[in-house]
Structure 1
Amino acid sequence: MTSELDRPMNEPLNPEQLRSLTPLNVLSEHQWRELRGQMVPQPLLAGETLFRKGDQLRMTYYLLAGELSLQDAQGQIQRIVAGSEASCHPLSPSLPRLHEARALTDASVLALDSAALSRLLTWRLAYQDLLLELEQGGEDVEWLESLLENPLFAKVPPTNVRAMLGRLHRLELPAGSTVLREGEAGDCCYFLKSGRAEVLRHSSDKPQVLAELEVGACFGEEALLSDRPRNATVTLLEDGVVLRLDRQDFFALLKAPVVAEVSLGEAERMIEAGAQWLDVRLQDEYERGHAPSSLNMPLNLLRLKARLLDKGRTYLCYCDSGKRSANAVFLLSQLGFETYALRDGLDALPALQREGLLCESGAGYLARSGGRTERSR
C-alpha cells in the first residue's frame, strides 16, 4: 500500500486508494458508494487506545497511516506499520477482541460497520458467478447489480434470482408512459432496467410527487403484498425499459424467502430476547388495543418513519389479516432491517390470545431517532 493514504483527515477515500485492503478489494463500484459515508479516515493520537482486549463493538478497523501496537493476553506485542502487508488486513478482527490496539505514533484508521461490510461481502460472493455469466453472455448487468444490492436481496437465494430473470417480460416504453396507475388492481410488479420514473399520488386535485425511481428500482409490489389497488401512479420521465414480473412468480421467488413469519409463541420468545413489536395498523386501531410497548407505525407512514428505527434491533410486525404486516416486512427488508411478520395476523389468534396480546390501549409509544422508545402520554 502506498503513501497516498496519508492525506487530510475528513476527506473521503475512494476505491482506488483502498485497492490493497482485503477483503474490501472485491467490492463493486455500487457497493463502494453504499459505504462512502464511512470512508473517512479517523485520527488517532500517539498513545491513544483504539480498542481494548475483550471489546465487542462490531467495527472493522484498518490502519491507514502511522504505527500502532497489538498486545495479546500474554503480553506479546505486534507492531503494525501502515503500508505493510499486515496493515492490508483488518486489525484483530475476532470478537471479543484478542488484543489491545494502541497508537505508537499519530495515525489514522478506517472504521467500518462490520454488519454492513459482511452483508456486502456475502452478497458479492453469492452473486458474482451469476453476474459474470451474464456479462460474458453480452448482458448489461448494471441494472441487476443495482437491484441486487438492495438489502432485500440478501434474503433471496441466487437460484431464485436466476429463475426470476427467466420469467421477466421486457417492455420498451417512451417518455411519458404510465407503467401502472393508482386505483388499478395489481397483478404484477416491475423493475426499472433503464431510464427514470416518478411516483405520483393523487391525494388532492393536484398530483403529489412521492419519489423518483432510478435504474434497478422495484415498484408495484405493495399492491401484491396487501392485495389492494395500486396506491400510486408510476410514469416514465424518459425513454426506458421496464421488466414485468407476474404475481405468481413474485410470490414464489421473492415474497416467500423475504417475508419471514413467526407464530405468537416464537414472537414472544423474540420479545424476551430484545425484539420490538411494530403495529402497522392505523392509529385509531392501535389505540383501541395494542401489544405491550409496541410502536405504532401505520403502513402508509412506514417508509417515512423507518429512519427512527434501530437497524441493530429485530422488529415484529403485526396487523389484523397479516397482509399489511407482510408489506411492512418487505419494505423494511429493502431498507436493511431484520424483521418478521406475525403469521396470518391477529385475526388468526384464538380470542383469549388476541385479548392477551392487545392488552394496552390509548396513545402508547413513540419511536425516537435510533430506535429509542418513549411513552407518548
Structure 2
Amino acid sequence: MSAPLNPPQLRGLVPLNALTERQWRELRPQLVPQPLLAGQMLFRRGDHARLAYYLLSGALELRDASGGATLLEAGSEASCHPLSPSLPRLHDALAVRDSSLLAIDSATLERQLTWGSTHQDLLLELGREGDSDWLEALLASPLLVRVPPANVRSMLQRLHRVALPAGSQVLREGETGDCCYFLQSGRAEVIRGAGSQQQLLAELEVGACFGEEALLGDCPRNATVTLLEDSVLQRLDREDFIDLLKAPVVDQVSLGEAARLLGGGGQWLDVRLQDEYERAHAPQALNMPLHLLRLKARLLDGEGTYLCYCDSGKRSASAVFMLSQLGYRAYALRDGLDALPALQRDALISETGAGYLARSGGRIERSR
C-alpha cells in the first residue's frame, strides 16, 4: 500500500494548499494515491459521490453530455484543481494512461476550509502570544464548529489559567459542577466508578473540553478526571459556558419540526434510563441513556440525524451538546416531553417494552 503524501508534495493542489499542519494531519488517512489503469472509468455523468478527485500522474479524458472531450494531464494547471467538482458530475472521466489520483471526502475538506476562514484572524492575533498549537486544537473541535466567532473570542477572554501537577484530580465523580475545563497542555484520564468497578472512559489530549456534561444536565459530575502529566488547564465558569457555548451549540426543535426531520430520515434517540424507556417511548426510538452516551455514540451513523428527548429537556440538551462535540448532527425536543400537551405526549410515547439497538455503522435492530 502506498504511503500518504506529505504537504510539500501537495502544495500545488487547490484548495489543499490553504490547510494548516494540523488539518493536514486530520486528512492524512485520505492522502494515499489510488491507481487507475488505462481504460478504467473514474466516474460517470450524474455521479453524486461527495469526493474531491485530484490527478497526480497520468492522463484522463473528460467527456461532457454533448460528446465533447477534454484531455487532462497531470502537471497541468487544470490538474491542480478538483476534477468535475459539480454534483451531480457533468462528465465521464476515463483514464487514457495508467494514472494515480487522490480521493478526498468533500464534506471533510469543506469543514476544514470553513474552519480556516472563520478562525484565521483569531489564530493570527492570539498566536503571537505563543498559544497557537493548543488554540488550533481547540478551535478545530466539533464543539466549536457552530459557535459564532464572536462567542469564541469572548470565551477565550473569560478563561482562567490553572497549572496543576501530574496526579491531580481536577474533577471528582459525584461532586457538583460549577465549571468546565480546556486542556492547554498535558494529558488526563477520565474514569467512572471506584475500586473493582473502575472503568476508563477516555484519555484527553491538548484542546479537549471536559466537565461540561454536569453544567448542561444540572447534575453531579459523572466521572473523575485525573492528570497524567503536569498540565495547564483553562477554566470556564458555568455562567459563561451556558451563555457563550450551550446556546449556539444545542439546537432545539418543536414536535412539528422533529416530525419533518423524521420524514427526512431522522431517528428518535431516547436518553432516559432504560426503565423509563421501557415504560413508554417514541416509535422505533433508540435508547442510549445519557450516562452511557459517550461510550455508545460510536454505534451511531455519522451521517445520520438524531432527535433527542427526555422528560424535562435537560438530559436531551446535554446529549445534543455531547453529540455535537463528537461530530454528530443532533437536535433536542424543546423543553422535553413534559412541555407537550397530554394528547401529543401520549401519541408520541406510544410504544412500551424493549425497543431498538444500534449496531456498528448505525444499523438499527429490534431488541428481543
How far apart are 1:206 and its partner, in Å? 5.8
1:89 corresponds to which residue?
A: 81
1:159 to 145, 150, 175: 150
Q: Aligned pair in 2 of structure 1 residues 375, 207: CA closer, same or farther (>3 Å)?
A: closer
Deviation at 1:67? 0.8
1:4 corresponds to which residue? none
* Matched pairs, number: 368
2:127 corresponds to? 135
Cα distance in 1 for partners of 2:341, 2:119 equals: 43
What amino acid sits opposite 2:339 in the alignment? A
Give the CA deviation at 1:368: 2.2
Return the TM-score normalized by structure 1. 0.94
Partner of 1:73: 65
> Runs of 5+ in structure 1 lacking a partner?
1-8
Choose the corresponding residue for 1:333, options 314, 324, 328: 324
The one-letter code matched in structure 2 to 1:141 is: S
The root-mean-square deviation of aligned C-alpha atoms, in Å, is 1.4
Offset at 1:204? 4.1
Matched, 1:289 2:280: yes
Q: Would you say 1:323 and 2:303 are equivalent positions? A: no
Q: How does 1:288-307 map to 2 (within 5 A)?
A: 288-307=279-298
The one-letter amino acid of 2:109's match is: L
Q: Which residue of 176, 187, 202 maps to 1:185?
A: 176
Amino acid paired to 1:31:
Q
Among 22, 30, 38, the alignment partner of 1:30 is 22
Aligned-residue offset at 1:109 = 1.3
345, 348, 354: which is aligned to 1:357?
A: 348
Amino acid at match of 1:350: P
Query: What is the rounded CA distance, in whole Å, between the counterparts of 2:136 and 2:127 in structure 1?
Result: 11
Aligned partner of residue 189 in structure 1, secondary structure: strand
Does the CA-based 8 Å contact 2:312-2:337 persist in structure 1? yes
Matching residue's letter, 1:16 = P
Deviations 1:298-355 (A, max 9, x none): 2222222222222222111111111111111111111111110001111111111111
The whole-number CA distance in structure 2 between the counterparts of 1:332 and 1:305 is 11
Deviations 1:83-126 (A, max 9, x none): 22111110011111111111111111111111111111100110
The partner residue of 2:102 within 107, 110, 115 is 110
- What are the equivalent positions in structure 2 for 1:8-47 lying under 5 Å apart? 9-47=1-39
The Cα of 1:205 is off from its aligned counterpart by 5.0
Task: Quote the Cα distance in structure 1 between the aligned partners of 2:60 and 2:196.
Answer: 64
Tell me, yes or no, if the aligned pair for 2:201 and 2:295 is still in contact at 8 Å.
no
Moved over 3 A (4+): 203-208
Which letter does structure 1 place at the counterpart of 2:92?
E
**Matching of residue 276 in structure 1 with residue 261 in structure 2:** no
Tell me, in whole angstroms, the C-alpha distance in 1 between the residues paired with 2:297 and 2:57.
Answer: 37
1:120 alignment partner in structure 2 = 112
Q: Identity rate of aligned residues, in percent? A: 72
**What residue number does 2:233 align with?**
242
Confirm whether residue 369 of structure 1 aligns to residue 342 of structure 2. no
Shift of 1:150: 0.9
Aligned to 2:243: 252
- Whether the aligned pair in 1 keeps the contact of 2:312 and 2:335 (CA below 8 Å) is yes
3-state SS in 2 of match to 1:270: helix
Looking at structure 2, the residues matched to 299 and 206 of structure 1 have their Cα atoms a distance apart, in angstroms, of 19
2:256 to 257, 265, 288: 265
Distance 2:361 2:335 in 1: 29
With normalisation by structure 2, the TM-score equals 0.96
Q: How far apart in 1 are the matches of 2:264 and 2:309?
A: 18
SS at match of 2:113: helix
CA displacement 1:44-89 (0-9 Å, x = unmatched): 1211111111111111111112111111112111111112211111
1:287-306 Cα deviation digits (max 9, x unpaired): 11111121111222222222
The alignment partner of 1:268 has SS state of: helix
Q: Does 1:200 align with 2:191?
A: yes
Residue matched to 2:221: 230
1:148 to partner: Cα distance: 1.1
Are 2:237 and 1:210 aligned?
no
